[in-house]
Structure 1
Amino acid sequence: MTCSSDELSSLFQVAEAVKEKGLGTCGLIFGIDYTMSNKVQGEKTFRGRSLHDISEDMKNPYQQVIEILGETLEYFDNDRVIPAFGFGDFETKDQGIFSLTEEGYCHGFREVLDTYNMVTPCVKLYRPTNFAPIIYKAINIVEETKKRELKRWCLKASGLLVDVVSQASVGDGPWGVMREFDDKLPDRLFDNFQFVEFNEVMASSMHPPAAFALSCLKEIPHQYKAIKELGYLEDL
């Protein structure tokens, strides 16, 4: 996509721009990072608060991301069913994930946000950060529904219609590993990993929510085209 972030002022305009570039439908899966790093990653970018701090005076970065991407991508999600998971907490550590809902998935991004707000105060943060379990779960969901360590699963996901948008970029950083996975995985069948630094985009744009959504989604039309050209949609 060639649109400038300043050309688009609303999430609807971002969705329309993505649609015009060829994206028809898609599904959305949220993976929430509950590792201990969230306690210190807001020192510069979130007034010293935990990135999971839930209060009435300010939305935390996770709440903002859920709202922005949820509202934008709901435009393309026909059934509005959104799986939402947490990882990196005391129970799962770096070996698994847990569902934010007791049973089933959320219906619409507003339910994802409400569930996140309810569950998060009860979650005990832990360590270390490992994205492999949530990416593997996304692959399983794709395989089951026929709708659509990190490097290994990104390489596998590139052959299974999984586009990975990293939201571990909320907070202060540094983001060396994320940039490496964004640019240096030559063995993938197509580029399916997009790194976006939330605070940098939000702080430097005239229309922050639209700019962030565009930054996250700008490669999806090219990825969708690659998926079709590789024949992955033929059996769906």
Structure 2
Amino acid sequence: MAGGTGVNTVKRRVALLESMCSMSDDYAEDDQKVKFEMIPDKFHSLKDVSDAIKNVGVKECSLIFGIDYTMSNQMQGKKTYDGLSLHDIQPSRSNPYQEVICILGETLEPFDDDGIIPAYGFGDRTVKDKSVFPIKKNGDCDGFMEVLKQYTDVTPTIKLGGPTNFAPIIRQAVDIVKEKRQYHILVIVADGQVTNEEETIKAIVEASEFPLSIVVIGVGDGPWDMMKDFDDNLPERKFDNFQFVGFHQAKQGVRNPDVAVALAALMEIPDQYMCIKKLRLMEKLL
């Protein structure tokens, strides 16, 4: 990974973000005047992006985890997880979901003001593609280590189902944002393509009306064409609120795979938060 570029470089990048997300003076009367732009990847180190997150003013932030329990998890580890189910729980090794929870939890927890993390499963045989369920029966998790523990304990009891639809977990996250009136980052860990594309697109577009960043970490073999399309297109959105990271691809050929995944996951957060501020999305919740 490249080293940090210094405080001046970070400040210049923050100024660029403000320019990218700039609005007209009469925006409040006509929010359609803001043109959608894809947010490019521009940071080269975890320190760079972490400094930029602080410099754009992220003071209060909360995390939400979504875990994909669809049947395809049984087959999606053929190339990337020794042919095992991606939800295979063993005491001697971490599965991809456990790895992502640790990497993203440890990276994002310092930005979480209260440490309370709502964590949900979706796509199992019970809720299918219609709803979500909390992985902790009695409430939200206290820190990412409890997310990891609850995931590890509950997963062997869950019957995988489907089809795959991100809309329920995205809408659950929007409901939390409206209730808490605070910026949130939704981390969805999923194994493959979305079955209900139309409903998922609708939910992503609707979510761009709120102070919510969506980070999808793709575990397993892919393909990931649809995820990349969600990331780079959908111009109906108020801002580019969706970042996709191919977990195994991000880890390949780098000195520190965990840092590479964390960097890719955070890459668009500074830009997204600047756009949220310029669009006054948090003010609309008050």
Same fold (TM over 0.5): yes
Amino acid at match of 2:201: K
> Deviation digits for residues 60-118 of structure 1, max 9, x if unmatched?
11101111111111101111000000000010011111011112100000000000000
> Deviation digits for residues 107-136 of structure 1, max 9, x if unmatched?
000000000000000000011111100000
Secondary structure at the aligned position of 2:212 is classed as: coil
Change (3 A) 1:189 1:89: same
- Please report the TM-score for the alignment, with normalisation by the length of structure 2: 0.77
**What corresponds to 1:44 in structure 2?**
79
User: How many residues were matched structurally?
Assistant: 230
* Structure 2 segments unaligned to the other structure (5+ residues): 1-40, 184-198
**What corresponds to 2:214 in structure 1?**
164
**What corresponds to 1:216 in structure 2?**
265
C-alpha distance in 2 between matches for 1:102 and 1:74: 22
Answer yes or no: is 1:191 the counterpart of 2:240.
Answer: yes
Answer yes or no: is 1:82 the counterpart of 2:117.
Answer: yes
C-alpha distance in 2 between matches for 1:61 and 1:14: 24
Secondary structure at the aligned position of 2:133 is classed as: strand
Identity fraction in percent: 51
- Please report the TM-score for the alignment, with normalisation by the length of structure 1: 0.92
**What corresponds to 1:233 in structure 2?**
282
C-alpha distance in 2 between matches for 1:19 and 1:210: 18
Answer yes or no: is 1:173 the counterpart of 2:213.
Answer: no
C-alpha distance in 2 between matches for 1:32 and 1:202: 20
* Structure 1 segments unaligned to the other structure (5+ residues): none
Candidates 195, 199, 202, aligned match of 1:152: 202
Secondary structure at the aligned position of 1:29 is classed as: strand
Displacement, 1:185?
A: 0.3
Secondary structure at the aligned position of 1:196 is classed as: strand
C-alpha distance in 1 between matches for 2:180 and 2:58: 19
C-alpha distance in 1 between matches for 2:230 and 2:97: 22
Answer yes or no: is 1:182 the counterpart of 2:222.
Answer: no
Amino acid at match of 1:41: Q
Structure 2 contact 216–243 (Cα < 8 Å) conserved = yes
Secondary structure at the aligned position of 1:95 is classed as: coil
Amino acid at match of 1:3: F
> Deviation digits for residues 1-39 of structure 1, max 9, x if unmatched?
6332xx44xxx7864453245433311100000000100
Matches within 5 A, 1:13-92: 15-16=50-51, 18-20=53-55, 22-92=57-127
Displacement, 1:161?
A: 1.0
Amino acid at match of 1:164: I
Aligned alpha-carbon RMSD (Å): 1.6
Matches within 5 A, 1:62-141: 62-141=97-176
C-alpha distance in 1 between matches for 2:53 and 2:83: 35
Answer yes or no: is 1:3 the counterpart of 2:56.
Answer: no
C-alpha distance in 1 between matches for 2:49 and 2:156: 32
C-alpha distance in 1 between matches for 2:118 and 2:100: 15
